């Protein structure tokens, strides 16, 4: 029986998806790595405390998830793409809300300019889980609210920058979306839930708190002026 000859071009085209998949597997996920600590994980997110450490060589990595978060300390870093090109350095003010699509491949390393600080952030890997918001007739949603600054709004998240005013309670509301509060300025907040339970929590910079959708509460800053970037998940 004569053997069927497969055209070389057809063979190469068939091999391309496999080659692309193998190339993607060659790069580790962005986290964990040296200078990164997992804060917590659930069915929707993985939250990381990230530091770009001075003098530490980092590997190339690929971001396997869409990512949201907030930079809490600015420090210069060198971002090198796989082709060797280097992204320009762009200083920014903090806190800086952030969002990045998955699939980006690069490496990021601290640049030791004199006594330049090490960059810090809380980054949130967004799993491929989408859930509808929860509302209740007659109750406002947690955001927007007076005094909040909108930062980012896209298909995956809404991000807000908010500072609690001491002695000014936030009226009862429903958290219609799962959310992560990443604190920038320290302070103490008292929460009262719908069933009458009361909780008082003191936050420091880079503390992160997950608030499940459907939570109904009031909030009041009782010490300091706590400030946070709130990441609501769509």
Tens-digit pLDDT profile for residues 51-108: 999 999 999 999 999 999 999 999 999 999 999 999 999 999 999 999 999 999 999 9
Q: Which CATH class is domain 149-233?
A: mainly beta
Give 155-180 pLDDT, tens digit per residue.
999 999 999 999 999 999 999 999 99
Task: Please state the domain extents for the chain.
Answer: 28-126, 149-233
Q: Which CATH class is domain 28-126?
A: mainly beta
Same fold, 28-126 and 149-233: yes
**Is the omega angle on the peptide bond into residue 70 within 30 degrees of 0, that is, cis?**
no
Task: Say how many CA atoms lie within 13 Å of 64 toward its Cβ.
Answer: 14
For tokens 């990443």, name the residue: 182
Pairing of strands 179-193, 198-203: antiparallel
Average pLDDT score over residue span 113-121 = 91
DSSP calls for 122-190: EEEEE-S--------TT--BSSS-TT-EEEEESSSEEEEEEEPPTT-PEEEEE--S-EEEEEEEEEEEE
Q: Report the pLDDT value the prediction gives residue 151, as an integer from 0 to 100.
A: 98
């Amino acid at each position: 029986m004569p053997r069927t000859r497969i055209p070389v071009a057809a063979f190469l085209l068939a091999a391309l998806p496999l080659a692309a998949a193998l190339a993607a597997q060659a790069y580790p996920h962005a986290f964990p790595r040296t200078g990164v600590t997992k804060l917590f994980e659930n069915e929707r997110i993985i939250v990381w405390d990230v530091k770009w450490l001075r003098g530490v060589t980092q590997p190339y990595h690929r971001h396997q998830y869409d990512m949201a978060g907030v930079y809490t300390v600015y420090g210069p870093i060198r971002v090198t793409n796989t082709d060797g090109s280097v992204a320009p350095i762009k200083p920014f003010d903090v806190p800086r809300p952030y969002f990045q699509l998955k699939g980006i491949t690069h490496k990021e390393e601290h640049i030791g300019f004199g006594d330049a600080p090490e960059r810090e952030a809380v980054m949130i890997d967004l799993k491929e889980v989408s859930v509808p918001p929860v509302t209740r007739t007659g109750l406002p949603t947690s955001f927007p609210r007076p005094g909040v600054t909108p930062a980012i709004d896209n298909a995956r998240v809404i991000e807000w920058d908010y500072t609690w005013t001491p002695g000014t309670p936030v009226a009862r509301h429903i958290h219609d979306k799962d959310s992560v509060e990443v604190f920038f300025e320290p302070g103490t907040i008292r929460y009262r839930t719908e069933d009458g339970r009361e909780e008082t929590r003191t936050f420091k910079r880079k503390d992160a708190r997950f608030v499940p959708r459907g939570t109904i509460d009031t909030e009041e800053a009782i010490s300091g002026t706590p400030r946070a970037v709130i990441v609501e998940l769509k």
